[in-house]
Amino acid sequence: MLSLKFCSRLHSLPINRKPHFAFSDTTLKSLSNANVLLLLSRLSSASSCTATATAMSFQQTQNFSASSNSTSLPILEDSPLPGLESDLVGYVFGKKKATEVAHLVWKHVVQKGDAVVDATCGNGYDTLAMLKLVADESCTGRVYGLDVQEEALVNTSSLLDETVNQAEKQLVKLFNICHSKIEEVVPKDTFVRLVAFNLGYLPGGDKTVITKSETTLLALEAAERILIQGGLISMVVYVGHPGGREELETVEAFSSRLPVDQWICCKFQMLNRPLAPVLVFLFKR
C-alpha cells in the first residue's frame, strides 16, 4: 500500500473532511495534461491531505474511477508537469523503483542548458541522469555534484568516463564537500532548476557514514534559497538504517512549513514496507 501525503491548501474545491481516493491505472492515464501532484494537492480541505492508493489488479479496477464520496475530481488543464500520472502508476503497482520515479519526474522539470545540483553523488547514477537532461550542443548546462566521501566522487567520475564523452563530462563539476555547503560551490545568482538528494549511506560503501538530520536541514534551506520558480527539490530518503527515521522526520518538518501558495510538497511512502525508501518532491510554483 502506498501513502501519498500532500501539503497544500484547497482554494477552489469545498470538501468538509479528508478524502480517501483509489486510482486505477486506466483512470490516471486518462488524465492527459493533468499534474497528479497538483491535482491531489488541491483536494485538501485543510493544510494537508492524505490519499491512499491500494495496488489492485487491472481487472479489479478497470471500471473504477477516482472518487471522494460525492465529490468529483476536476481535470487540471493548466498543469506545469504533464504526464506524471503514468510515472506515478508505475510506482504504485511496483513496476518502478523510487530512484527511477525520481528520474522520470526530473524529465518534466529540467530543460537543456539548465543548472542542477546532485547534493549527494553516491555512485553517480543521479549525476549521470542529470547530465543527460541538461547537456546541449552549446554546452551551457551544468551539473554540480557534491559528496563528503572521496570514494563516491571517484565512482561518479568513473561512471561518467564510461558513459559520456569528455565534452559532456566537462559540464559536471564535482566537489568533495558536505551537502550543506551547496551555496559554497554553486556560483552566486545561478538559476538552479533541480536539487536532488539521496539521503542515507553510500551503496556498497561504509554504512556508518550517513547523511544526518542537522546537515540535511541546512542543505534543504540552501536549496530553497537557490531554486528558481518552477524548480524542484527531489529526495529519496532511506530509512532502514540508524538515523534514517530521524532524517525523514526532519525532511517532513521542513517540507510542511513551506508556504502553501509557493510550494507543492508531497511524500510517497509504502505503508506495508516500512524499510522502503520514501520519495519526497517539493515543487516551487
Tens-place pLDDT, residues 204-215 = 999 999 999 999
32 vs 180: which has the higher pLDDT: 180
Closest CA to 252 of 275, 268, 241: 268
Residue 130 CA: distances (Å) to CA of 12, 143, 144, 145, 274: 36, 7, 10, 10, 29
Q: Is the pLDDT of residue 1 over 90?
A: no
pLDDT at 91: 82
**Within the chain, where are the H helices?**
25-29, 36-41, 58-61, 84-92, 98-107, 125-134, 150-163, 166-169, 182-185, 213-226, 244-256
| C-alpha radius of gyration, the chain, whole number | 19
Domain ranges for the chain, please list them.
105-284
Asked which of 54-63, 183-192, 274-283 is least confident by mean pLDDT, the reply is: 54-63
Mean pLDDT of 45-53: 33
Which residue is listed with cell 475530481? 73
Q: Is the pLDDT of residue 185 over 80?
A: yes
Domain 105-284 classified CATH 3.50.50.60? no
pLDDT at 19: 33
pLDDT at 106: 97
Q: Is the pLDDT of residue 46 over 90?
A: no
CA 256 to chain centre: 15
pLDDT at 69: 33
Residue range 131-149, pLDDT digits in tens: 999 999 888 899 999 999 9
**Within 135-282, where are the H helices?**
150-163, 166-169, 182-185, 213-226, 244-256
Contact 270, 240 (CB under 8 A): no
Q: Which residues contact 189 (CB under 8 A, 6 or more apart)?
A: none
Q: Is the pLDDT of residue 42 over 70?
A: no
Q: Is the pLDDT of residue 256 over 80?
A: yes
Q: Is the pLDDT of residue 123 over 60?
A: yes
Which residue is listed with cell 522539470? 109
The dihedrals phi and psi of 105, each to the nearest 5 degrees, come to -65, -40
pLDDT at 88: 77
Cell of 236: 529519496
Q: Which residues contact 221 (CB under 8 A, 6 or more apart)?
A: 254
Mean pLDDT of 83-94: 77
Reported as a pLDDT band with limits 50, 70 and 90, residue 4 is low
pLDDT at 3: 56
Local structure of 174: helix, strand or coil:
strand
> Which residues, listed in sequence order, are joined to residue 117 by a DSSP beta bridge?
144, 195
State the pTM of this model.
0.76
What is the pLDDT of the chain when averaged over all its residues? 79
How far apart are the two ends of the chain, measured CA to CA in Å? 29
63 vs 212: which has the higher pLDDT: 212
Q: How far apart are CA 120 and CA 76, in angstroms?
A: 34
